[in-house]
């Protein structure tokens, strides 16, 4: 049965592995304090990003069967990943998370190589420009440039997937809304893992999960949103895609952990997209940390997530693009 008609909230499991409990404990003692420091000032953001980079060296190690090829654009770079046999006529564009001020395509290899294996297609992961040197307009244009590059390389839009985590989930939604508004063909489907979608910080989970989220301190997220907005209207869809227009967007798979402070950022996007007629699968994983598929090397729930992702994308293969439907009608 197609997943596109799934229940509004899918809870894939109730039991939590001992590995996940251990991970949550470790994150609460390491990453959470680091992010508390990062939100203080641009200087502390830079220092936190350097500290994260040290830990990311181990995360960027790959299995021997994964092929990585660098790619350069005018203002940024990225890499192609191929995990085993792939269909070269299909592709996925991936936008990494990191609060728009740290991390990279290389540090998100634990996600991208597994996505390549799960979707059986090459993945293009880009290092879009980030804060504090750059802003929303620039990182949005980098994502659009990468997507246009795929079209120019001959990839048909119905053979393109797009996805991202956290800030990359934010950028995924902004990119989809911008592609539609500019009249560009939309990709087949999209994936948002723990997306940050609302810079008004009005979600109830900011308070209800304030002491339950093992990774994110709520005040730090609020400070980052205020810092990035710099006086702009936080309801502007470029800052808060939650308040943008979802009509005409492709099928979405949205994943989040039940104890995240950003849980309701994901929930409300799923609701607004459905109200606009978009096919949405929203999965809420019990007591999973922010972007839990990143930790698939340790937690079994992370490994299971890629099976869900693969199944979702397979289910969208039966959904024709607008162009295909027009051709059939004609």
Catalytic residue ranges: 166, 260, 290
Q: Which two tokens stand for residue 222?
A: 């609020």
Whole-angstrom CA distances from 176 to 137, 161, 190 are 14, 11, 9
Provide φ and ψ at 146, rounded to 5°: -65, -40
Q: Beta strand 252-257 with 160-165: parallel, antiparallel or unpaired?
A: unpaired
Rounded to 5 degrees, what angle do the CA atoms 152, 158, 164 make?
85
Instruction: Name, in order, each residue with C-beta under 8 angstroms of 21's C-beta and a sequence gap of 6 or more.
Output: none
**Contact yes or no for 48/35 (Cβ under 8 A):** yes
Q: How far is CA 67 from the centre of its chain?
A: 22
- Pairing assessment for the beta strands 123-127 and 91-95 based on DSSP bridges: parallel
Sign for the pseudo-dihedral over CA of 26, 29, 34, 36: positive
């Amino acid at each position: 049965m197609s997943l596109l008609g799934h229940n509004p909230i899918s809870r894939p499991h109730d039991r939590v592995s001992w590995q996940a409990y251990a991970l949550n404990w470790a994150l609460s003692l390491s990453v959470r304090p680091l992010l508390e420091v990062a939100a203080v000032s641009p200087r502390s953001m830079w220092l936190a990003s350097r500290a994260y980079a040290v830990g990311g060296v181990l995360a960027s190690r790959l299995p021997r069967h994964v092929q990585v090829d660098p790619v350069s654009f005018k203002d940024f770079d990225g890499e192609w990943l191929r995990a085993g046999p792939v269909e070269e006529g299909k592709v996925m564009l991936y936008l990494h998370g990191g609060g728009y001020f740290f991390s990279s395509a290389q540090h998100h290899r634990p996600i991208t190589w597994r996505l390549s294996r799960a979707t059986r297609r090459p993945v293009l992961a880009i290092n879009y420009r980030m804060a504090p040197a750059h802003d929303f307009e620039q990182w949005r244009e980098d994502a659009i440039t990468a997507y246009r590059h795929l079209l120019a390389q001959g990839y048909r839009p119905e053979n393109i997937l797009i996805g991202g985590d956290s800030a990359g989930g934010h950028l995924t939604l902004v990119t989809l809304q911008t592609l539609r508004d500019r009249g560009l063909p939309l990709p087949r489907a999209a994936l948002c893992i723990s997306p940050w979608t609302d810079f008004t910080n009005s979600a109830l989970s900011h308070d209800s999960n304030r002491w339950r989220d093992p990774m994110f301190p709520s005040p730090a997220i609020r400070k980052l949103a205020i810092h990035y907005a710099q006086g702009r209207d936080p309801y502007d869809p470029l800052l808060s895609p939650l308040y943008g227009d979802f009509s005409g967007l492709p099928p979405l798979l949205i994943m989040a952990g039940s104890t995240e402070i950003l849980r309701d950022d994901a929930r409300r996007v799923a609701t607004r997209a459905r109200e606009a007629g978009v096919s949405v699968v929203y999965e809420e994983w019990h007591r999973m940390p922010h972007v839990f598929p990143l930790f698939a090397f340790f937690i079994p729930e992370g490994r299971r997530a890629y099976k869900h992702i693969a199944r979702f994308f397979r289910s969208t293969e039966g959904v024709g693009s607008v162009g295909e439907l027009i051709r059939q009608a004609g």
